[in-house]
């Protein structure tokens, strides 16, 4: 498997020849985006690759469509060129007008879709939605639906790639970490906070992500969505501090992705 960090949550995954794109964001830095209910963020980093440099995409995995730091204008515009688009059930309803129904799959946690190989010699993939909670208890009505993704080769129990999506720690997330046999874990971190919501957090901090790695015990853990936007409070330094202070069983699993460079894991 090769992973290329593009910026924010956006990661290009090459899995056995399949080209998967996580949460497409390709707008340039400098713009402020409103997320609703008085929250918002400014994009502070450019993508490491442009859409034109990306190449063909077999599957776009959109954890949620309604926050621009996970699907911005340029990312939304490239979705029709992807072979398949997987997102939340509610998000599929919003994206449906611009995408062919046969290529759009809306999932709730626990649901799966089986994708036949787009080219000869590639395995069939089974992709399942995993639970997320994008904020404190009782905020789902405000922050909306979010999912993660567990990607398996058909016929294998082991999860080749688990993408947490934007989430805080909660019981269903930790149950998922305990139940899945994970090869590569891609965790979204950053410790998102907003001035209007005070101390409330909307994604994992570095410390919380390290704790999740300890529970899931993947072969390799990599991280995304901790920089490039103004709403990250814990950010890269919080993640580095947490990894540096982690016990060896967790510290040795962690790998840093290099912007714009395919890293084999």
Mean pLDDT by 10 residues, the chain (265 residues): 98 98 98 91 97 97 97 98 98 96 97 98 98 89 92 98 98 98 98 88 96 98 97 96 94 95 97
Give the domain CATH number at 99: 3.60.15.10
- The answer to whether residue 121 sits within a structural domain is yes
Tokens of 54: 């990306």
pLDDT at 197: 85
- The answer to whether residue 265 sits within a structural domain is no
Radius of gyration from C-alpha coordinates of the chain: 17
- The answer to whether residue 249 sits within a structural domain is yes
- Could you list the residue range(s) of the whole structural domain that residue 59 is in? 2-27+35-260
Tokens of 184: 């590569």
pLDDT at 216: 98
Kindly tell me the sign of the dihedral angle through the C-alpha atoms of 38, 88, 64, 96: negative
Name the domain count of the chain: 1
- The answer to whether residue 116 sits within a structural domain is yes
pLDDT at 141: 75
As a whole number of angstroms, the distance between CA 244 and CA 218 comes to 18
- The answer to whether residue 79 sits within a structural domain is yes
As a whole number of angstroms, the distance between CA 263 and CA 150 comes to 20
- The answer to whether residue 99 sits within a structural domain is yes
Tokens of 250: 């967790």
pLDDT at 143: 84
- The answer to whether residue 66 sits within a structural domain is yes
Alpha carbon separation from 27 to 38, 69, 227, 253 (Å, rounded)? 22, 10, 15, 32
As a whole number of angstroms, the distance between CA 147 and CA 86 comes to 10
User: Could you tell me which of 47, 103, 54 has the C-alpha nearest to residue 72?
Assistant: 47
How many CB atoms are located within 10 Å of the residue 138 CB? 8
- The answer to whether residue 204 sits within a structural domain is yes
Query: Exposed e or buried b for every residue in 78-110, given b needs 16+ CB within 10 A?
Result: bbeebebbbbbeebbeebeeebeeeebbbbebe
């Amino acid at each position: 498997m090769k992973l290329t960090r593009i910026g924010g949550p956006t990661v290009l995954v090459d899995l056995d020849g399949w080209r998967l794109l996580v949460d497409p964001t390709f707008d340039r830095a400098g713009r402020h985006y409103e997320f609703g209910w008085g929250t918002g963020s400014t994009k502070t980093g450019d993508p490491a690759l442009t859409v034109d440099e990306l190449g063909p995409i077999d599957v776009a995995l959109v954890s949620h469509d309604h926050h621009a730091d996970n699907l911005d204008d340029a990312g939304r515009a490239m979705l029709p060129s992807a072979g398949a688009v997987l997102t939340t059930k509610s998000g599929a309803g919003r994206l449906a007008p611009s995408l062919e129904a046969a290529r759009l799959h809306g999932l709730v946690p626990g649901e799966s879709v089986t994708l036949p190989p787009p080219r000869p010699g590639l395995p069939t993939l089974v992709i399942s939605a995993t639970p997320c909670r994008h904020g404190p208890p009782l905020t789902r009505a405000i922050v909306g639906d979010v999912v993660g993704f567990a990607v398996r080769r058909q016929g294998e129990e082991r999860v080749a790639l688990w993408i947490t999506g934007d989430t805080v720690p909660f019981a269903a997330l930790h149950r998922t970490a305990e139940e899945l046999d994970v090869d590569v874990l891609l965790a979204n971190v950053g410790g998102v906070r907003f001035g209007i919501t005070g101390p409330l957090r909307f994604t994992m901090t570095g410390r919380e992500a390290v704790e999740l790695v300890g529970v899931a015990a993947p072969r390799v853990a990599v991280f995304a969505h901790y920089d490039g936007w103004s709403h990250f409070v814990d950010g890269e330094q919080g993640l580095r501090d947490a990894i540096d202070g982690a016990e060896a069983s967790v510290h040795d699993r962690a790998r840093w992705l290099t912007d714009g460079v395919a890293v084999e894991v």
